[in-house]
Chain A
Amino acid sequence: MKKIFLSIAVLGLALSSCDDFLTKDPLMNQTSDIALSTFEGIDDATEGNYLSVISWYGASFPLTFDVMCGNGMVGPVNTGRMRQEPAWNFTPTSELGLWASAYSAILNCNKVLAAINQNEFTRTSDVTEADINNVKAENLFLRALAYFDLVRVYAQPYGYIKEKGLTGVEAMGVPIITVEDITARPARNTVAEVYENLIIPDLEEAERLMDPSYERADVADRVATISTPVIQAMMARVYLEHEDFQLAADYATKVIKNGRFRLLSGNNFLSMWKGRDIAPWTGDEFIFEVYVAQSDGSSTALGTYLTAPEEIGGAGYGDVRMSNDLINLFDETDIRYTGLTKTNPRYPGYRWCTKYPGKTGGLQYNNVPVIRISEMYLIRSEAMLRGNAVVSGVSSPLDDLNRVATSRGASAYSTATVSNIFEERRKEFFFEGYVFFDMKRLQISLYREDYDLDETVRDVEFPSYRWALPIPENDVLNNSNMDQNPGYQQS
């Protein structure tokens, strides 16, 4: 009988402690409700938001778009990767992946911005209003960057839409989402709306909020952080795309005049690409880069894809070689050709790009440049040429164009034309992910000589539906308000 009482007692005890027993909180993660409840958490989440952009700056931007637009071709040795991309073989089910990555980054920024705006987080006494504003500016910048990249990839270019007066699905950008809502099934906003209601106001607010002396603390690579000139340089790029030529020139000038960045030449320029772990804070060309390091646990495909193995078992996949079309643009004296490309004794007749030579740990660790100072000069040149922008102290578009060309040891241009500026940008930024967007902005068709894949896409005229990539099938299927771009399987 005693045993019965004992059993009942044990049972009773078990019952009362059930809820404790059944509560198993995750030990390896932080739950969302507490993650953003402190300023420290908000700051950590902001740091985390920087990481999101590796997913596209780590491969699709510098590699995929250059391979699509004639800068790269399938190498003589390869792993079968990067073979569909030169043939623009994108479908709603086999697409770029940027859409999902960018919207994930946007959500992450929206969550932090919401937490800041609600202002219910706890903070230590040393946290100032300026600290909060700086973090807010970083998130606004990252969100604008994600939208800018989305609208440049999944829509026709702003200038073309404006020029032709396009409406309907042809003028569609991407949905603007600024609050977290998993039930939202948004329709696409127009390209103009994405620029005018989100990207430009976000960047303007970021510039206004950020303390010009602000630098994110304790980081390994300071150039991989958002600071006032980074925001301004991005604004110059965005204004050019939005055809606010004077503003583009003004903001490029602000960055050039900042003094931190310098156009380099000769070995100074080349040593910049030698696989250094950390870019110098001043006196360098890099305005903003994405930091990729083994010690962070991050990696990028750029180095491995762009390098062929030099010996048996050597590193590198060799999937992407430089195309002859690109090689043929260079002067023999151009250090971008002599110093940033190389041959491989095992594969005579081919050249490989050495902008991503790998750093500590191997080929798959390379910082990825996002903005360099040379772009500011070329933006200004284009703004002056196309939009008659006025820049004090610079007499003509040719000045800025040649400043870049001659610093690289290339011969100077005699005139500044759209095609010269495009050619210079192509030589300057190969495998940095510019060429596709330059062609779209400048409405230049793609003609390829060095091409041996599907003949039907050897040439891609502008305009063509192909310049706006397909929306992932997932979002068309799961959101009845989402329109697919013309030209693709409509699901």
Chain B
Amino acid sequence: MRKLTLLLCALIAGISVAMAQTSISGTVLSAENDEPIIGASILVKGTNASTITDTDGKFTVKIPDGAGRTLVISYIGMERQEAFARNGMVVKLNSADQALDDVVVVGYQTIRKEAKTGAIATVEGDDLAAIPETSVDRMLSGKMAGVSVSSTNGQPGATTEIRIRGTSSIGAGNEPLYVVDGIPVESGDVSALSNSMNAIALINPSDIASITVLKDAAAASIYGSRAANGVILITTKSGEAGKSKITARARYGISTLANDNNFEMANLEEYIQYQRDARINAGYDVDTPTSEYYFPKSLAAKGGTNWLKELTRTGNLQEYELIASGGSGKTTYYTSLSYNKTEGIVPNVGFEKMQVRANLDTELNKWLKIGTRLQGGYMKSSDVENSLLGGDGLAPSNPFYSGMALAPTMPAFNEDGSYNFDLPFVFNVNPLAAMRESDKYDKQYKFNGTAYLEWKPIKQLVFRTNNAIEFAYINSRQFSPAYVNQVDYGASLNTADVQYRLLTTSNTITYDDLFNDVHSVNVLLGQEANAYDYSFNQAISYHVNESRPYHGAGVAAEDQQANDGVTQTAMVSFFGVAEYSYDGRYYVKGSIRTDGSSKFGPDRRWGTFWAASASWNMHNEAFMQDIKDVLNVLKLRYSYGVNGNDNIASYAHYGLYADVVYNGVSGQVPAQLENRELTWETNKTHNIGVDFRLFDRLSGSIDWYTRRTEDMLIAAPLPYTTGFSSQAQNVGKIRNSGIEIQLDADIFNTNDFRWNAGVNFAANRSKVLELSEGQDFIGTSLRYVVGDQLYTYWLYDYVGVNPQNGNALWRNEDGLLTENAQEARRIRAGSPEPLWTGGFNTDLSWKGISLSIQLEARYGNKVVNSDRQLFESDGVYGDQNIWKGALNYWKEPGDTNVLPKPVYNNSSNSSQTSTRYLEDGSYLRIKDITLAYNLPSKWTQKALMSGVRIYASALNLYTFHNMNYFDPEHGTTGNTIISYPMTRSMIVGVDITF
């Protein structure tokens, strides 16, 4: 309180000093070109005293006694500006077009950046559309401080893992909420049979006006229960009246496996040598033809197969778009049509989408505005039978597994050109045949429609109702020829239909007013409800006719299976926000939201969440005006808030019995433990931030936050003696705190040459504060340990190789060396969490030529390289191929710095998950380089075009890393194995505007 009093005194003192002067002179210039603005109006705030600028842009205004010293400067087509009055002041007005950049969508509302109190990051749609990725989430990679986008695989159409300010939850979801045009939408993986189908991939990046990420509790709290992991607000474009515009875009590119560290498998000769040594080490005779383990060097003479080469190809991508926007009178429109097709680096793996959007807005009269946001589309994800993530990564028909694992001595084809099916190592599934002949896809048909109505009975009051329907139908098919199936199913057919529907209504009343020109009040009250309904049905048939692969009627019941499922959830919310600001300098804001979720039991279903925040625009203070040319903006922010997380399975609080069939009779078994007390996981966040702009060149934000997750929704482990392995519980606490820095600089800004650069940096530190009562940690190799950071690896302590005999050496509990793998101790061996992440982007343009570069980096994360483990396993997998690095094994007594000796069908556990496979996952990725040329308008106008842009891009051009694998990214917890690797793409394109 004392501080507040002091502050007030200082303010009053400042004002009384100002009273001494009464006449102020200054100049008004255009911010764009520093030309004087003639006829701009100057008003002393809170009075009638005013003047206009002369032909040199100069003015003199008298300030009446007792008035404040704020001037309001305005000019038609320019953004109104308030400035502190002082002699010789220079005011630069921005054009109204640019003013659009200064507002930010924050959830149910749009605010001026000046007014923000929470931690918010924004990226403009145009900055995104330039990146030739197919989905929005991938484009965010490296763009914003504290927004980490991790890929687990590079398959076209695959989802990513987005973590905003670290991982906040152990058991509940960690993905942010996606809100498109004010309506929360489905996100994540919506595949049925294919590996991956990213729900938000349908959003056409060119249609995005802006993406705002709400990071702290104050910013996100208006989404209360669902905002614990942050909110990604996507706003799509609207048309502008009077400016009809048609844009056509086309791009084409090729993609190849990204393998910047030259991760390679052993070749034929190396493989034979390894296998001979492994067999000899196992005590087998490799040189006698009658020996079961006969493996002569002469095998090499027959020639070999480079399986990975056989199974991969150069992929390609193409994309076409037509966009029309404009409007006349009170109606504006924006419409787009696009088609995108990506063919993967493996035959039959691909992703295709087409979508159409129509955004319409019309002002019916002075008080009523209505509009719609409609999008319909189709996505198809094609896949190879049984491949990759989600399923068994080590399936023989996974082209990357087979491509690396299959012995190079095995021919892919017989001499007559037919497929070689004599491949016992992969159950005689020839991966080439499996890849080419199988048929597997998800086709998703999707519609998102939103209609709103805005009623403005008086200037200060707006009623808005926003109602949306989202539905999707996914049709999936998986046909496997008989030779793909490992057991005698014959040819099999699996079809699935999935449908979901999400209905949302969102209704708000906003009151916005300004009193005495200095007191600004904004109050919003709202209600929202949604209902989600999901169902699937699936049919599987075996022994189908290969030439007519459909589910036939009358097939024996044993040969057909049917499954179905239904899930429903609902949520109801009521919320309010109140904001007060004084004179563009002091802002306070409070919000409260109460949510009811069907995921919790009747007594525990409602959760109330709130936030409070304040900010101080110091640059608008009197005492800052003298240095305003240097320090253009200085804003301090603080916020605290509580958010919730209900991101768990739909019926987690129920004790459940599931139906089973045994011995031809139906029965039931316990399937889930009841927990009536199950309720919201909460997140409590403090955020302190500062925004600044220096010399009109360098702007930035620095934020410090600490976020505490309490009552975590965890599948808390139980001893098996309880009959269950876990129960959904609210236990434990974790904390994430960190710092984020975002800097943007306009280094040069002349008419011909522009150069700007931005850098972002985030460091997050997590800590597990508490788990279930009496529990010190959860997990085995990857653990949550109380008192330690969130994820820690606890691995068997591998020391090296005994130079005498080539056996692996371990350290046991007593710290002594042992050759017995079962005695090895586990030690804390690092964490998959990065110490920091960052991004860098720069744009250079000279006349019509521009070059943009984007980098992203991650530092200090460890990865247990299970891919290397698989191909460096000392003979465990018999005939399986090894990677080149595995060739450095022990050969004779005295060998040091080597790997353990290979033993055919090794059972010594030397390749158990240990510190041996721990690697540094840090990387620096050249994410995108784009070189573009805008054709001079004097040329294009002859062709009736207003602009033509041609460009070439390199996506994922190069990655600097130290991992012994194709790519360093192994997901948030570093635990992927044999997933579709990252690819590098080279793209050319053209954009034409009419």
Contact = CB atoms under 8 A, between A and B. Distances in A.
A294 interface: yes
Given A186-B721, A224-B663, A475-B721, 12 more contacts: A44-B667, A47-B666, A48-B660, A49-B669, A50-B662, A84-B909, A100-B720, A103-B720, A107-B724, A219-B664, A361-B559, A489-B823
Most buried by A among B717, B823, B907: B907
Given A51-B662, A175-B721, A362-B487, A24 B568 contact: yes
Contact of B667 (A32, A47, A312): A47
Q: Which of B422, B427, B825 has the most CB of A within 10 A?
A: B427
B558 A294 contact: yes
Contacts of A185: 719
Contacts of B908: 454
Interface stretch (A295-303, A331-339, A370-378, A403-411): A295-303
Interface stretch (B254-262, B597-605, B613-621, B633-641): B597-605
B667 A45 contact: yes
Nearest to A309: B428
A452 interface: yes
Contacts of B598: 21-24
Given A32-B656, A182-B722, A27 B568 contact: yes
B658 to A, nearest CB: 5
A336 B233 CA distance: 71
A277 B348 CA distance: 41
A41 interface: yes
Interface string A181-192: 110111000000
26 contacts: A7-B463, A14-B529, A22-B605, A27-B568, A28-B566, A44-B668, A45-B669, A47-B666, A50-B662, A50-B667, A51-B660, A79-B427, A104-B724, A111-B670, A219-B665, A221-B663, A224-B663, A294-B558, A296-B664, A298-B662, A312-B428, A315-B487, A363-B487, A473-B780, A475-B719, A489-B813
B661 interface: yes
Interface string A1-13: 0011001000100
Contacts of B569: 24
Contacts of A221: 663-664
A93 B780 contact: yes
A52 B661 contact: no
A474 B725 contact: yes
Contacts of B775: 478
A51 B722 CA distance: 18
B570 A21 contact: yes
Interface stretch (A70-78, A231-239, A384-392, A423-431): A70-78
B424 A89 contact: no
Interface of A: 3-4, 7, 11, 14, 18-19, 21-33, 35, 41, 44-52, 74, 76-80, 83-84, 86-87, 89, 91, 93, 99-100, 103-104, 106-108, 110-111, 175, 177, 180-182, 184-186, 216, 218-221, 224-225, 291, 293-298, 304, 309, 312-315, 317, 349, 360-364, 452-454, 472-475, 477-480, 482, 488-490
Chain B contact-residue range equals 35 or more
Tell which of A22, A44, A51 has the most Cβ of chain B within 10 Å.
A22
B655 to A, nearest CB: 3
Contacts of A84: 907, 909
A322 to B, nearest CB: 16
A474 B669 contact: no
Contact of A453 (B422, B777, B905): B905
A225 B907 contact: no
A294 B492 CA distance: 15
Given A297-B561, A362-B488, A181 B596 contact: no
A30 B878 contact: no
B605 A32 contact: no
B429 to A, nearest CB: 8
Query: Which of A25, A35, A219, A314 lies at the interface centre, i.e. has the most chain B CB atoms within 10 A of its CB?
Result: A35
B965 to A, nearest CB: 21
Contacts of B722: 103, 107, 181-182, 184
Contact of B596 (A22, A35, A100): A22
A23 B674 CA distance: 16
Looking at chain A's contact residues, the main secondary structure is loop
Most B CB atoms within 10 A — which of A24, A25, A106, A220? A24
A15 B283 CA distance: 77
Given A26-B651, A30-B668, A80 B907 contact: no
Q: Which 6 A-B pairs have the closest CB atoms?
A: A107-B723, A47-B667, A220-B664, A32-B655, A48-B667, A48-B669
B511 interface: no
Nearest to A349: B292
A473 B778 CA distance: 11
Given A26-B656, A51-B669, A475-B720, A83 B905 contact: yes
Given A87-B907, A219-B664, A77 B424 contact: yes
A306 B765 CA distance: 51
A45 B566 CA distance: 23
Interface string B704-732: 00000000000001111111110100000
A298 B482 CA distance: 22
Contacts of A45: 657, 667-669
A315 to B, nearest CB: 4
A472 B421 CA distance: 40
A135 B661 CA distance: 17
A363 B529 contact: no
Nearest to B775: A478
B445 to A, nearest CB: 24
Contacts of B721: 103, 175, 177, 184, 186, 475, 479, 482
B329 interface: no
Given A21-B531, A78-B878, A219-B665, A304 B774 contact: no
Contact of B656 (A29, A360, A472): A29
Contacts of A25: 651, 654
B554 to A, nearest CB: 16
A18 B572 contact: yes
Q: Which of B602, B673, B723 counts the most chain A CB atoms within 10 A?
A: B723
A155 to B, nearest CB: 15
A473 B483 CA distance: 40
Nearest to B729: A182
A32 B482 contact: no
B600 to A, nearest CB: 9
A225 B605 CA distance: 44
Contact of B283 (A52, A315, A452): A452
Contacts of B777: 477
Nearest to B563: A297
Nearest to B669: A48
B187 interface: no
Q: Most chain-A CB neighbours within 10 Å: which of B284, B529, B665, B876?
A: B665
Contacts of A454: 907-908
Contact of A31 (B488, B654, B659, B813): B654
A91 B507 CA distance: 58
Contacts of A478: 717-719, 775
B822 A89 contact: yes
Contacts of B725: 100, 474
A185 B775 CA distance: 13
B108 to A, nearest CB: 16
B776 to A, nearest CB: 8
B933 interface: no
Contacts of B813: 489-490
Nearest to A76: B292
Nearest to A346: B424
Contacts of B283: 452
Contacts of B876: 80, 83
B650 A24 contact: yes
B631 to A, nearest CB: 47
Contact of A28 (B561, B565, B674): B565
A47 B662 contact: yes
B320 interface: no
Given A103-B722, A474-B725, A291 B662 contact: yes
